[in-house]
Structure 1
């Protein structure tokens, strides 16, 4: 038994374009590529066992955001990672009050 695709539909569409694994990986910083590879392999193995692609699509969506931020300003992305590491280590990090951020953004 075969299932016919509806006209104009592409069942592989979610994994093409901006969510294509190769495209995402190529836009990451070298230091993030290994993390991407490990997570991608893990969710693909999970999908093989569960027949559920949702974890794969969720991971690709998350990594696409990282790729977007990386492309936009690699040094700002690296600074953000360093700040997050310092916060996670319990260090004091200079912050800006949320009200000020909203004012600066016009919110």
Structure 2
């Protein structure tokens, strides 16, 4: 997938598309004022990673978002401690 705004947005879940739109519009407006496209490219790079994750496993990505929301609300979520996971992976 190319790192073009339209290509990225087409892959995003509906619940993330608005966040992408807002951030992309803001960095474009800033770029106009500052005459610097660096933040635009950084935004596209960051969202491209999200789009790739979404394209590979949309339901898994959606579950990750839901888990993150629960954590941000202060809810406890089940999971495997990092130390255990590292040991299982031999890291």
Fold in common (TM above 0.5)? yes
Match of 1:66 in 2: 50
Unaligned runs of 5+ in 2: none
* Residue aligning to 1:90: 74
Unaligned runs of 5+ in 1: 1-16
Q: Taking structure 2 as the reference length, what is the TM-score of the superposition?
A: 0.90
Q: Aligned Cα RMSD in Å?
A: 1.3
In the alignment, the residues of structure 1 paired with residue 49 and residue 2 of structure 2 have an alpha-carbon distance, to the nearest angstrom, of: 10
Does 2:2 align with 1:18?
A: yes
Distance in 2 (alpha carbons) for counterparts of 1:105 and 1:27: 30
Distance in 1, matches of 2:17 and 2:82, equals 32
> What count of residue pairs does the alignment treat as equivalent?
91
Aligned match of 1:9: none
For residues 48-68 of structure 1, give each alpha carbon's deviation from its aligned partner in whole angstroms, at most 9, with x where no partner exists.
000111111111111001101
Shift of 1:31: 2.1
Q: Larger relative contact order (C-alpha < 8 A, sep ≥ 6)?
A: 2
Match of 1:77 in 2: 61
